[in-house]
Amino acid sequence: MTPHQAYETAYNLGKRIPELEPIISKDIYSSFWYAKNVIEGIFILAEPTISKDAYHSYCYAEDVIKGRFILGEPVISQDSQCSFWYARDIIKDRWEKAEPAISKDAESSYCYAKYIIKGRLPDFMHNALLLSNDESAKEYIKFISKNPDSPNNKI
C-alpha cells in the first residue's frame, strides 16, 4: 500500500488508523493531509518528513499547528515566498533568519517591506530589490515614498 492509498483509506473511513501511520508518514503530501483532515492535529511521526519541504512545512504550521513549526523552519527559511508567508502568518513579525532568502525574490521582498517591516527594507534587501529592476521594485519605491518621514523610509 502506498502512502497516498493509506491516507485515502483513513480519510474515506473518517478516522485515524494508527497501523497505517508508519506508511503515511513516509510521504510529505500524504502526511500533511492526514494531519489536517484526519487527525485534525499534530502528526509527530511525520514531522521529520514534512520538515523536508518548505511549502508543506509552512502549511503544517498554518493549518495544523497554528503556530511555529520549529523543525520545518530551516527549510522554510530557504524559500523566499514561504519565508514571507511564515513571517506574515506565523511569526507575525520580522524573521531575520529568512531575510537572505526573501531578498532573492523581488515580489517577496516588496511584500515583506509592506506587510512585515512596514517601511524600508534592511540595506542588503533594499539594494537587491532595487537592482532587480522588477515591477515590484517600482511598487516598493512608491510605497516607501508615501511616508518619507518614517525613520525606516530614509533612502
Residues 87-105 pLDDT 10s: 999 999 999 999 999 999 9
Domain end call among 76, 94, 129 = 76
Range of the domain at 39: 1-76
Rounded to a whole number, what is the distance in angstroms from the first to the last CA of the chain? 59
> Residue 155 has what pLDDT?
47
User: Do both 101 and 49 map to the same domain?
Assistant: no
> Residue 146 has what pLDDT?
85
Count of the separate structural domains present in the chain: 2
Domain end call among 76, 95, 123 = 76
Listed as ranges, residues in the chain with pLDDT below 50 are 155
> Residue 116 has what pLDDT?
95
User: Do both 68 and 44 map to the same domain?
Assistant: yes
Rounded to 10 degrees, the C-alpha dihedral 50/56/57/60 comes to -90
User: Do both 84 and 70 map to the same domain?
Assistant: no
> Residue 94 has what pLDDT?
96
User: What is the rounded distance in angstroms from the CA atom of residue 83 to the CA atom of residue 89?
Assistant: 10
Name the residue with cell 537587491. Answer: 128
User: Do both 5 and 19 map to the same domain?
Assistant: yes
User: Do both 81 and 68 map to the same domain?
Assistant: no
User: Do both 47 and 94 map to the same domain?
Assistant: no
